[in-house]
Amino acid sequence: MSIQTVKYYDFIKAQEIIENHTETLTSAHLGMFEDWLWTAEPVFEDGQFTKYLLTTEKIAGIDGSCWATPTLLLEFKDRPPEFISCFYEKEVIK
């Protein structure tokens, strides 16, 4: 057995960030930054949430990672996209 630090999606933080930018967003996605193409999913499009993040437990079947970084991508109407790390850490025994 060993103890590993796992980074889990912080869905509450993601929800709050998106809610603070709804007027200027075109879309928002959550995924693992280092494996984005395989793990990212839309969570906000066309002015509304496509996933209710306060009850979401996984994105692309994943809740966290010991090596990749859960990340929120915000795509804006009037400025370049922005990646924001969106996680909390927890030690687990494996």
* pLDDT 10s digits, 77-87: 999 999 999 99
Residue 59 CA neighbour count, 13 Å, CB half: 33
pTM over 0.75: yes
Query: What are the residue ranges spanned by the domains of the chain?
Result: 3-93
* pLDDT 10s digits, 33-72: 999 999 999 999 999 999 999 999 999 999 999 999 999 9
How far apart CA 13 and CA 70 sit, in angstroms, is 12
